[in-house]
């Protein structure tokens, strides 16, 4: 009976931890959000992005927008005629799910904003071990490829491993 309760408690803990795996990132962080004057290259390098994470773009919709674009449109900042546009977001509070391990590129399409630095490139890895982002480097014009390295991982996986270890110790102790 005690073992059953222990297993049930562990299953509940795993359920809570699995929901904690995905992270929502407010682009540019809380004070500025998606706005001019933010260094999005530095911002992206401070974070590790994994499949399932969500980017939250908060902005004044009459002053900005968010276009997900191709790498070449990101580099040129030219989305005229919707050339290279993957998706458009205009609500002022847009949540973009990072559903694949790949590079994502975003720009503000308002005149002069992208050329002024209002653009974001992120690399999404399958497990978050080596994601990150930043603008393409001047020499390659491409962000580094997403990582598929299974080592490392996100804090949620570490917590689940720790919880599993605790469960095994408790199960042996309950015998």
- Mark whether 10 and 40 lie in a shared domain: no
- Whether 29 and 106 map to the same domain: the answer is yes
pTM (predicted TM-score): 0.67
Residue 19 has pLDDT above 50, yes or no: no
CATH number at residue 44: 2.60.40.420
Q: Look at 9 and 62; give whichever has higher pLDDT.
A: 62
Residues 85, 45 share a domain: yes
DSSP codes of every residue in 23-90: -EEETTHHHH-S-TT--HHHHHHT--EETT-EEEEE--TTT--EEEE-HHHHHHT--GGGTTEEEEE-
State whether 78 and 15 are in the same domain. Answer: no
Domain containing 33: what range? 23-152
The reported pLDDT for the residue numbered 95 is: 98
pLDDT value at position 29? 84
Q: What is the pLDDT of residue 136?
A: 44
Q: Tell me: the pLDDT tens digits for 41-93? A: 999 999 999 999 999 999 999 999 999 999 999 999 999 999 999 999 999 99
Domain shared by 81 and 66, yes or no: yes
Total domain count, the chain: 2
Do 36 and 87 have their domain in common? yes
13 by DSSP, 3-state: which?
helix
């Amino acid at each position: 009976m005690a073992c059953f309760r222990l297993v049930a408690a562990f299953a509940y803990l795993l359920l809570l931890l699995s929901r904690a795996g995905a992270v929502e990132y407010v682009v540019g962080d809380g004070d500025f959000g998606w706005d001019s004057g933010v260094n999005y290259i530095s911002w992206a390098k401070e974070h590790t992005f994994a499949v399932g994470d969500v980017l939250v773009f908060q902005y004044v919709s009459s002053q900005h927008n968010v276009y997900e674009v191709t790498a070449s449109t990101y580099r040129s900042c030219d989305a005229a005629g919707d050339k290279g546009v993957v998706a458009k977001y205009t609500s002022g509070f847009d949540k973009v799910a990072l559903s694949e391990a790949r590079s994502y590129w975003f720009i503000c399409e308002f005149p002069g904003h992208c050329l002024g630095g209002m653009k974001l490139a992120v690399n999404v890895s399958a497990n978050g071990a080596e994601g990150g982002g930043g603008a393409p480097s001047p020499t390659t014009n491409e962000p580094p490829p997403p990582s598929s390295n299974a080592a490392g991982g996100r804090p949620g996986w570490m917590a689940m491993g720790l919880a599993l270890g605790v469960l095994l110790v408790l199960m042996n102790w309950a015998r």
